[in-house]
Structure 1
């Protein structure tokens, strides 16, 4: 989905805010200045505690701080008023770097938005700029679902992503904390992590994947073998491992549906199993099948 379509889906008010913040600069060109509403003392500005972004690379902050010392802040921080002070809607990285640079005040754009819109903007801006790691993205989606009643379809429309992308992101939150930490640190990709969701020992398998430098395809084979061992009675002989084409097809269907899909061959036929946990997920499967009938 292109940026114009996703912004239209955001609604005119939110799209306008995103447009103000989306002042990207082509390589080789000087940054374009955006007019601020006012200058605000930096101590009167605080971060949004619900901003999904938690990790800020220290070396990148130092580089940005050096640039700010030399050129100032070209793109103002977008804020809203909260209890007489200002809370960041977008631009926390610039605010942090400005503090490192020793600035006493920074330029801001002030917008009057509620908690829900502030969270939407923070997530959309960071997702569009690929600033969130997969875990931060999933936690941001979870906040919109838990606190503001969004469905996965709603989130897909707002963020400009497919429903299956949202569903697959939320599946990562089923993982235990050690695996989440590896995901946040970049030791595991989202593809590695998704393969571990239904396994018996996600943390142990994650350590194996990292230590051996396994590809996503290798991680899927490892996870599939673990899942088969869970479901296969000890008295039964071990089934042959699935071939790479079958595993790839399982992954493709799982990603498309945002649900666990298992394929088992039986001679010239076989069985496709789609696992769901809620009636909403079942209804979504039915809608997808009806559209193709």
Structure 2
């Protein structure tokens, strides 16, 4: 069998060429107004609280294609349909102080409106900038319909958790009424379940006094929802005062409401003694703790009964021994 051999040419040394570097990509740089960024800002911890106050809960979603322009503050109008109605004066002053030192870090979002512009997102920054004495503010102009303005304002505030529960409930109801939306449609739009929307909107059925407690954080939405089953504004208000005065938690509030409903008198005498109801609640708790079983006090027109539950004869013997019978 013939064999073949591969002939290889002798290697010759060639002078090594200097390594070539990959071309460096250059990016065009545009001149920006001071203290304005077109994208999300990242702040180092060393910048202090002032700059953090500008950015916390105030950043908005900005497309890199959006053009930032300086608009006269007096040409801007707050959106009358803005979901957020309550602006904390102390926090607004803090933001104004930060703006005085650092400028407005994130532009506001506006849309054209008659002779000027309507604010879509950033009304708090606009208010603080006016307070700080600024004449212009960095802005992004977008062409939006009325429903898009409300949708964007609502979604942004919900995502930032800037709205109190009453403001959120009013905004959701307005969207459904003005634009004939169902709760199902609205849930898809804002990414929240239909039951959650229904529970939020129900808060609008509270008395004005109770709603004011929720707005000022004196009471949570959970406390307020427990009061919805009370039959009148007067009873809601009276019971709410007890809840706040005694600093009851949500579970205790629910128990108090049950006691109030259980002891509710006839319509002609429909004035609930909240102190009595609260004392009954406290007494039931103390008896349960002492006897180690469920105890309920039922009052009917200054008469009533104490019901002590037992679940076996052994437990009955233990309870009788406990009370010395």
* Superposition TM-score, scaled by structure 2 size: 0.62
Gaps of 5+ in 2: 1-36, 48-54, 267-283, 289-325
Give 1:115's match in structure 2, choosing from 122, 146, 161: 146
2:236 is aligned with 1:202: yes
Q: State the shift of 1:142 in Å.
A: 0.9
2-structure distance, mates of 1:131, 1:148: 23
What SS does the corresponding residue of 1:69 show, helix, strand or coil? Answer: helix
- Among residues 180, 185, 197, which one is paired with 2:216 in the alignment? 185
Q: CA deviation at 1:214?
A: 0.5
Instruction: Tell me: CA distance 1:182–1:70, structure 2 relative to 1, closer, same or farther (3 Å).
Output: same
Do 1:80 and 1:86's aligned partners in 2 also have CA atoms closer than 8 Å? yes
2 CA distance for matches of 1:174 and 1:22? Answer: 41
Distance in 1, matches of 2:223 and 2:196, equals: 15
Would you say 1:128 and 2:159 are equivalent positions?
Answer: yes
- Is the CA contact (8 Å cut-off) linking 1:41 and 1:106 kept in structure 2? yes
| Deviation, structure 1 residue 22 | 9.1
The separation in 2 between residues aligned to 1:127 and 1:23, in whole angstroms, is 19
The structure with the greater share of residues assigned to helix is 1
Match of 2:85 in 1: 54
Tell me the secondary structure at the aligned position of residue 111 of structure 2. strand
Aligned length, in residue pairs:
220
* 1:7-18 equivalent positions in 2, closer than 5 A: none
- Give the Cα–Cα distance (whole angstroms) in 1 for the partners of residues 109 and 258 of structure 2: 46
Q: 1:163: how far off?
A: 1.1
CA displacement at 1:159 relative to structure 2: 1.7
Structure showing greater Rg: 2
Q: Is 1:96 equivalent to 2:127 in the alignment? A: yes
Deviations 1:108-146 (A, max 9, x none): 111111111111111111111111111001011011011
Is the CA contact (8 Å cut-off) linking 1:39 and 1:107 kept in structure 2?
Answer: yes
In the alignment, structure 1 segments of 5+ residues that lack a partner are 1-19, 233-240, 244-293
* TM-score of the aligned structures, taking structure 1 as reference length: 0.68
CA distance in 2, matches of 1:157, 1:21: 29
How far does residue 194 in structure 1 lie from its aligned partner after superposition?
A: 0.3
Give the alignment partner of residue 137 of structure 2, picking from 96, 99, 106.
Answer: 106
Q: Pairwise CA RMSD of aligned residues?
A: 3.1
* Equivalent residues of 1:126, 1:132 under 8 A apart: yes
